[in-house]
Amino acid sequence: MQPTFVLPSKHNITGCILAGGRASRMGGVDKGLQLFRGQTLVQHAIARLQPQVSEVLINANRNPTDHALTGCKVIADTEYADMGPLSGFLTGLQHCDTEWLVTVPCDSPFFPLDLVDKLSQAVTDKQSLIAMAQTPRLSDKTCELQPVFCLMHRSLLDSLRIYLQNGGHKISLWAKQQVPLALCPFTKVPTSTDPFANVNTMQELQDLSP
């Protein structure tokens, strides 16, 4: 059956960088504003995401003036704040003026430059409203979800709000309610930096730096 919505392409996808977390394992700093190779983590995310979408939003709950210096619109959580990345999903959907929204975290400076293309192809192939990245575990050859790398249709806003109202907080459980969920495989190369590597501590940030 053909979808009743417009299929995703660059011109109808808004990107949302999730930078609203507490960064408790970093001592509570604003993670997105931490420097990595001469730029903030948010700037790295913008550089990778901007060519893939029509507009980039930054979901940040602190230091809006600093984040706005990037030239991107800054949006703060108002409903269900402090619910983890799903708060950012909800805020992104509330401010999304396009048919589709794609989310990425601010702390993964190497995410794929073809991320949005592949997620878009996945929802097209599956006739789905949502696609999520997954990667192989090199240790045991199973797969793991990368749930914050997610492409979703704006019509999922009400579903997400209801999930949060009912106390839900796990991204993958909400996503699996949207049948079919399109899983989009990405590869890892053992000798290269993991494209989905993320930074949770200052030591991990230092370890990623040259």
Q: Which domains does the chain have, with CATH numbers?
A: 10-208 (3.90.550.10)
Q: What is the dihedral of CA 119, 210, 137, 16, to 10 degrees?
A: -30
Q: CB-side exposure of 81: number of CA atoms within 13 Å?
A: 11
Geometric angle at alpha carbon 183, from 179 and 184, rounded to 5°: 145
Residue found under tokens 């394992």: 25
- Residue-averaged pLDDT of the chain: 92
Per 3-state DSSP, the chain is made up of helix, strand and coil in percentages (nearest 5) of 35, 20, 45
Whether 3 shows a pLDDT value over 60: the answer reads no
State the average pLDDT over residues 16-41. 89
Residue 190: pLDDT band with limits 50, 70, 90:
low
Q: Name the pTM for this structure.
A: 0.94
pLDDT tens-digit readout, 138-163: 667 788 999 999 999 999 999 999 99
The confidence score (pLDDT) of residue 26 equals: 81
Whether 201 shows a pLDDT value over 90: the answer reads no
Phi, psi of 36 (to 5 degrees): -145, 115
Whether 24 shows a pLDDT value over 80: the answer reads no
The confidence score (pLDDT) of residue 209 equals: 66
Residue 191: pLDDT band with limits 50, 70, 90:
low
Beta-strand pair 13-18/143-153: unpaired
Residues 102-130: b if buried by 16+ CB within 10 A, e if exposed: bbbbbbbbebbeebbebbbbbbeebebbb
The confidence score (pLDDT) of residue 66 equals: 97
Neighbours of 138 (CB within 10 A): 11
Whether 2 shows a pLDDT value over 70: the answer reads no
Whether 55 shows a pLDDT value over 90: the answer reads yes
* Cα distance between residue 32 and residue 64, in whole Å: 11
